[in-house]
Amino acid sequence: MLLETSGRIYRVAGPLVVAEGLKPMMYEVVYVGEEGLVGEVIAIRGDKSYIQVYEDTTGLTPGEKVVATGKLLSAELGPGLIGSIYDGLQRPEKVIGEITKDIFIRRGLKVSALDRSRKWYFEREKSLNVGEKVEAGYIIGYVRETPIVIHKIMIPPGVSGILKWIANDGEYLVEDTVAVVEKGASKYDVKLYQVWPIRVPRPFKDKLDPGEPLITGLRVIDYMFPLSKGGKAAIPGGFGTGKTVALQEITKWSHADIAVFVGCGERGNEMSDALTSFLKLMDPRRNRPMMERSVFIANTSNMPVAARETSVFLGVTIGEYFRDMGYDVIMVADSTSRWAEAMREISGRMEEMPGEEGFPAYLSSRLAEFYERAGRIVTLGKPERVGSLTLIGAVSPPGGDFSEPVVRGTVRYVQSFYALDYGLATRRHFPAVNWLLSYSLYISYVKDWWNKLTDNEWESYREVAMKILQREAELSDIVRIVGPEALPEDDKLTLEIARMIREDLLQQSAYVPTDAYSPPEKDHLIMKAIITFYNKARYGVSEGIPVAKIRELKSRTMIARMKYHTLDDLKGKIFKEVIETIEREFSELLR
């Protein structure tokens, strides 16, 4: 006789298994078949339970056992996360490789997410005393996880009471109890790690407005379409436009304390390339390896499609955990379109009524569940701290069609939109962000930060640059018909300055170290030189100087070379020399 916690397979349809005789709750984790494949209940219809299986279902047959665990799909959160590479079920891939001696993950394999044998040095919070009342979010101690990340051990959400005992400084396993909280007759043992359901947003005290920009090192984003800490952004683009490279660059160079990179259904060679480069890279602000502040979740295209959803929610849960410590976290998902394709496949196998282009009707709400977990917040507990989680998702519309459902669904929830252009990519203009289609709704929030950094010049300079680029687009049709030489001199100047903005400011090379990452001060110095040149040239044109002569000036070449210099060199003497050369050359032209 079957227990209430077990049932039998009724039907198998790829990653979807229908079980009967099971009495589960929604989103409960179940073990399917003799090998105990991990699955999740996604629908209950009468006595039939529809299970999304996160491993290969080849060989499963009706009648095999299905066991309910009574638990939701959860993440283990504690020391050992940083520097790890997980699959969509938070199984450490390095450990799996050591066990299986194979490049593929064996199905049914169960491995702890955190190393149970490694000891961590725990240092208790000195201001916290036994007998004090504690609540969720209180920091009880610290673990130096890497040289640049201090892991703060917190009271888990939902736990409060009197601190009855706290461990002394020393080495402990993640499963060791380091504090005991008592409330009435119940006691709760606080360990170095905690478990949290990945579909449930972690609680916080208050949500704050955006304020400070998240510097990414990419000038087209930082200067023209800024992204705020705690913001939401999408990077849509067709095949070959550079989505993955752009996301990798943002993850590498962003001014975030913690970076979480989720490869959701992407090609294995792309994930391999990202991992290889991260292992070699140094953090430019801390001069330490990038892996000492990064977490990778690799769910490649040859893995079961259902696990793409878990990889996205696992990544955002890990991001929220570090956010609760008071860190600025960036989480990148490449790409949400692969996740949407997995939803479409599962929905089709469940025989649900399809929406537009076959995607399920709940596509938009699932995207909202993901993006709405971003934000800049005041955390629970003491000491009071502010943390942020910034979410950036790539979207891969077929044929670069931005009117398809995933792009349109994403646009509803993001506030920065970086549209990648195939035409720019074919001209080797990277990052291939189309400045006419892209936008940021964070400009009004970050303008005070930028204006303070640039002596109130950023807002006006950015506005001038955008007007020049828009005017260039208006003139492009005329140029195609009559050629640039038929234009009046002021329009010729507009085209020349637009080319300077495109090539000398917005275009970057990931292969030149001094240009791959550009700090905000450097962005502004380049723009200031271009605007200074533009103002002088505009006056010169009004005095009858032809644009052909202006184009040949030495200062034009000096501006083009500015992006290849370091910020220290620019601030030292190069920027001053560029401005002096502009002044001198235009004075000579006007004599």
Q: Binding-site residues for ATP, please?
A: 237-244
Sequence-ordered list of residues with C-beta below 8 angstroms from that of 460, at least 6 positions apart, any chain: none
Task: Find out whether 497 and 559 touch, Cβ atoms under 8 Å.
Answer: no
Whether the bond into 335 is cis, omega within 30 of 0:
yes
Asked if residue 559 lies in contact with residue 530, where contact means CB atoms within 8 angstroms, the answer is yes
Place of tokens 């507009």: 494
Residues 6+ apart with CB under 8 A from 582: 529, 532, 533, 536, 553, 555
Residue 389: beta bridge partners? 329, 375
Closest CA to 48 of 13, 1, 72, 88: 13
Structure tokens at 108: 């049914």
- Separation CA 336–CA 393 (nearest Å): 6
Rounded Cα distance between 410 and 182, Å, is 45
Range 567-570 contact pairs with CB under 8 angstroms and sequence separation of 24 or more: 567/519, 567/521, 567/522, 567/525, 570/522, 570/525
As a whole number of angstroms, the distance between CA 156 and CA 101 comes to 37
For the beta sheet containing 133-134, the strands, ordered from the edge strand earlier in sequence to the opposite edge, are 133-134, 161-166, 177-183, 186-191
**What Cα–Cα distance (Å) separates residue 21 from each residue in 1, 63, 240, 311?**
11, 11, 49, 29
The pair phi, psi for residue 514, each rounded to 5°, is: -75, -10
- Angstrom distance (rounded) from CA 339 to CA 581: 53
Burial of 573 (0-12, 13-18, 19+ CB in 10 A): exposed
Q: Count other Cβ atoms within 10 Å, centred on residue 561.
A: 11
Closest Cα partner for 200 from 61, 342, 320, 337? 320
Rounded to whole angstroms, the Cα distance separating 489 from 276 reads 50
